[in-house]
Structures are given as C-alpha cells and as structure tokens.
Amino acid sequence: MIRLFRDWKSLCLALFTVLIVACATLPGAREDGFVSLFDGQSLKGWTLVAPQGGGYGVTNGVLYCAKGGGGNLLTEREYADFILRLEFKLEAGGNNGIAIRSPMEGGSLAYTGMELQILDNDAPKYAKLQPAQYHGSVYGIWPAERGALRPIGEWNKQEVTVSGRNIRVVLNGRQILNANLNAVTDINTLLKHPGLLREKGHIGLLGHNDYVEFRSIRIKELPRANLNNIPPDGFVRLFNGENLDGWKGLLARPNDSPTNRVRLTPAQLATEQAKADKRMRASWKVVKAELAFDGKGDSLATARDYADYELLVDWKIEPKGDSGIYLRGNPQVQIWDPRDGGTNAVVGSGGLYNNKVHASTPLRRADLLTGEWNRFRILMLGDRVHIFLNGELVVNNTPLENYWQPDQPLPATGSIELQNHGNNLWFRNLYIREIPRD
C-alpha cells in the first residue's frame, strides 16, 4: 500500500475517483437536471388505467408489464417539453409503447395522445406492418429507422426528446427518429390523430399483453417560454398586438351572410364594407396588446379567407358572456359562461353550436372561470374540426355544417370571425398555421 500511494490523501483521491466512475455506470445514475420516475420498488407516481390481466408490477428493481396483461400505466403528473431516458428489455415478439402528452384515459392513446412504439422488429409476425408501426415510430404517423435494437434478452437504452412539435428518439446511441409534426399534412392522419395537437400530457407505458421489462426511467423537463404575441414555430400572427391590420368589420345584416354578400355589386360591397370598417374602429380597440370589444358594434372578420389550418385563440369573457368563432364564415365554435345558470351554457364552451345533424355540444366542460384567459386550439380540415379547450379535447373529428346553406357542403374557404353577442370580449395570441391541400 505504501509503495502504491505516498500518503492518505492520494489514497482517498484514488478511492473517490473509483467510486465516481462506478456510480456513473450504474443504471439510473443521477444526471444533471433529471429526476427518477420509477423508484425501483413500487409504482408510486403512476396510475394504471384500464388494467388487463396482471397489469404491471415491480420485481428486483425492474418495472414489468405482465404476460397476458397490461393497460395504460401513466404518470400522475403531466409533462410538456422534456427529455425522457429509460432502459427496456424485450422477449421474442414483445410489444409495448411509450405514451407522450397523453390524456389520463384507457383505450388506444396512439390517437388521443401519441405513442412511441416499443417492438421486436424482427419477429416474423410483424413482417407486414406499416413503416410507422415499428420500434421508435410515432405510431401511425412518423416512421423510425430500423436496425438499432439489441438482441432479444439484452437491455436497450432509449432517449426521447420532445420539444414543441419536434420529437427525437435515440436508441442505443443511434438517432432513429427526428420528426417535425408540423410537417404532417395528410388529412386522414391529422383527423385520426388529434393527440398530435396536444401541448402537454402524461407519460405512460402501454401494455399489449406481452412481457416487457423497464428500468432507470428518468426525465428532465425543458423550459418553454410562453410570450404574448410571439407565435409558436410554424405559425403566423393573425393579430399583431398593435393595430387592426389584417382585419375588417363584418357587414351588417343581412349581408353578414356570405350567400348575401356575393349578390352585392362591387360598388355596393365597397360601400357596405366602408360602413362596417367604421363601426369596427369604434368598437374594437387594441388595449395593452389585447383585442378588446366594447359589446356595442358588430363582429370582426379576417381580411382574407382561409381553407385548412390550425388556429390558436386566447379569449376572455365576463360573467354571462357569450361569443363564438366562425370558421370559413360559418357559425360557430361556441364561447359562453357555463356557470351562468342557463340550461344551455352548462355544457361549456367549444361545441359546434349551430350543428343540427352532427354533435353540437363539447365532449367535456373545460372552461376556466370567467375573467381568466382560455385557449382554443382548432384544427379545420375539409369540413371536419378538432377543438381543444385549455388542453382538453372537446370536439373530435366532427363535421361543421353549412349554416347559411344547410343543403350544401361547407365552403372550401372563408373568413375567420370573432362574434359580437352584445358582450365585452377580449382576445389575444391569435395565430394560424395554414395546412396545404394535396
């Protein structure tokens, strides 16, 4: 010992170095900014929804999905942007999934949330899957590269980075997925997967009756700046926070109807539009970078028409407030106070109020208290609509009917309108992302 180390300080330094190296190589070793999601002993911090068979369990520091069991094992907390690291081990033919930005519910979260596939790619029974159904893919949406899985029975290391609309997956040190969800423009995919629009949600393990093991599950949340009048990537501002550029007053009745407006001569249209713009400037004002309406004028419309798009709108009302958002010039995504005691308003905002044949009420009530800011995220594709209110899916792939001509299809384009209903209203952070048609 004396020959190897000149003094006790050298010996201690050597032992400390060995200890640091050893700890760094242990599964789940602490990393800067990461916290553990699995304590190695229990399912604390997780909730099992719609359990099947033996569900999930813990043994020898490993979290496992039972053979013939599963369900949706979801974190109690929600996450928006993050880096997730974990290890998993498959048996032959194994199948599971990682839920991201998921709701707390049963069923297939590949649609109402998103699922990153965990799969034995080489199993013969999976030979004819679609490209976006193999390991690491955003299931049914974006295919991952193949060839990075370790042999069956060995531990795999996977890192998932979710930031805004970007998802990156690294498997055993190799990047297999780098997806920009804004690049997904196929109408059928977008309508089938409203979960693509979620800003946050639960992380989960999605069992499919196969035995799969997990360990060393940890997460690092990434900061996200939410600044007013600064659009997210891929979006542009409809309202610039300074003036009414890009907007016009909606013509007075009966010319608020697009079917009536088309009958006006160019001269008549110009005259009526001038009147409407004068009323707009009197009642719609920009106050502290917010669009404020005094309740005395008419509705506000975009100066140009839009076809397919994703729309973000923050809105605020007072008690007993009532308004709406017209899409393609047609009413309406409902806005009102669900706590005013009225028999209709109790269902909450976000429904397609004027629908007669298809659903007109929201799937759930997600309104915040009056006086607080609410946020709509609306996807308009063809004649169908997804609507999120404050992060909750309230309309799922529902047709918006042609109010003005019920026997005709919804117009292919039209203005976006902020409805006057005789109430004080406030709007901000109006952003749009146009989606090209194939």
pLDDT single digits (tens) 319-352: 999 999 999 999 999 999 998 777 666 789 999 9
- 359-378 burial, b at 16+ Cβ within 10 Å, e below that, comes to ebbbbebbbeebeeebbbbb
Query: In Å, what is the CA distance from 104 to each residue of 35, 39, 45, 140?
Result: 21, 21, 13, 20
The per-residue pLDDT for 344 is: 66
pTM greater than the 0.85 cutoff: yes
Q: Is the confidence at residue 417, as pLDDT, over 50?
A: yes
**In what helix (H) or strand (E) does residue 325 lie, and over which residues does it extend?**
strand 322-327
Q: Binning pLDDT at 50, 70 and 90, where does residue 13 land?
A: very low
Residue showing tokens 């749009």: 432
For residues 230 and 343, which has the higher predicted lDDT (pLDDT)? 230
User: If you average pLDDT over every residue of the chain, what do you get?
Assistant: 93
What pLDDT, on a 0 to 100 scale, did the predictor assign at position 30? Answer: 62
To 5 degrees, how large is the angle CA 431–CA 435–CA 438?
170
Of the listed ranges 3-7, 364-368, 404-408, the least confidently predicted one is 3-7
- Using one digit for the tens of pLDDT, what is the confidence trace for 156-213? 999 999 999 999 999 999 999 999 999 999 999 999 999 999 999 999 999 999 999 9
Is a pLDDT exceeding 60 seen at residue 366? yes
Higher-confidence residue of 9 and 38: namely 38
Neighbour count for residue 161 (Cβ, 10 Å): 18
User: Taking 70 as the threshold, does the pLDDT of residue 293 lie above it?
Assistant: yes
Q: Is the dihedral of CA 383, 262, 438, 240 positive or negative?
A: negative
**CATH assignment of 236-434, given 1.20.1090.10, 2.60.120.560, 1.20.210.10, 2.40.160.10?**
2.60.120.560
Domain ranges of the chain: 30-221, 236-434
- Whether residue 14 is predicted with pLDDT greater than 50 in this model: the reply is no
CATH 3.40.50.150 assigned to 30-221: no
Q: Which pLDDT does position 225 carry in this prediction?
A: 87
Residue 15 pLDDT: 44
d(C-alpha 10, C-alpha 14), whole Å: 6
**Which helix or strand (DSSP H or E) is residue 86 part of?**
strand 82-90
Q: Please indicate whether the domains covering 30-221 and 236-434 agree at the CATH topology level.
A: yes
